Amino acid sequence: MIPVMLMGTLVYGIKYTLPEYMCTFLVAGGVSVFALAKTSSKTISKLAHPNAPLGYGLCFLNLAFDGFTNATQDSISARYPKTSAWDIMLGMNLWGTIYNMVYMFSSPTGSGFEAVQFCREHPEAAWDIFLFCLCGAVGQNFIFLTISRFGSLANTTITTTRKFVSIVVSSLLSGNPLSTKQWSSVIMVFSGLSYQIYLKWRKLQKKRKST
């Protein structure tokens, strides 16, 4: 969420309101606190490994590119209103397929031919891969529809909240009690979401009164 707002502001000059920043920091901060509070000592010790800077660097690049991609999708939708969700979906998947095909079958480190051979030897694996891709394609329809109608920030809010709720429910069902810090992070997340819903409701009420 934060990378989307930062890239949108820095690259495309998108302006967000103070309440939007507050909601974002509440949700993102709550998720971060929950994740850090849940991290075991063994995992923390691994973070001190000499390769940790590389991991942090890759994580930063991932967030930066993800934020840039989402901000670009918002910019395309704003500049070209006739661009549909499926136009963006086609462009993303088409270029992604081209890049992956070139890397897998042309790069010395690519393993495209090995993957094809493996699927020929194990047809059941190829079927599972096909079903996985089919489910991903169906799910992408909802993602790109959300982005085209409500913006990338709303989409990242939904995906972040879904992951967070899944972790919380999984922890409770597995009998792992949440600590005080974790419950505080839960309150932070749902406070941010509730405030965001209230702001949208108030904005909708103002539109109805004006009409």
DSSP string, the chain: -HHHHHHHHHHH-----HHHHHHHHHHHHHHHHHHHHH--HHHHHHHTSTTHHHHHHHHHHHHHHHHHHHHHHHHHHHH-TT--HHHHHHHHHHHHHHHHHHHHHHSTT--HHHHHHHHHH-HHHHHHHHHHHHHHHHHHHHHHHHHHHH-HHHHHHHHHHHHHHHHHHHHHHTT-PPPHHHHHHHHHHHHHHHHHHHHHHHHHHHHHHH-
Q: Which of 10-14, 26-30, 161-165 has the lowest mean pLDDT?
A: 10-14
pLDDT, mean of residues 178-203: 84
Q: Which of 35-44, 70-79, 136-145, 154-163 has the lowest mean pLDDT?
A: 35-44
The total number of structural domains that make up the chain = 1
**Global pTM?**
0.69
pLDDT in tens, 58-108: 878 888 888 888 888 888 888 888 888 899 899 989 999 999 999 999 888
pLDDT, mean of residues 12-36: 82
pLDDT of residue 136: 92
Give residue 32's domain range: 2-210
**pLDDT band at residue 129 using 50, 70 and 90 as cut-offs:** very high
The pLDDT mean for the chain works out to: 83
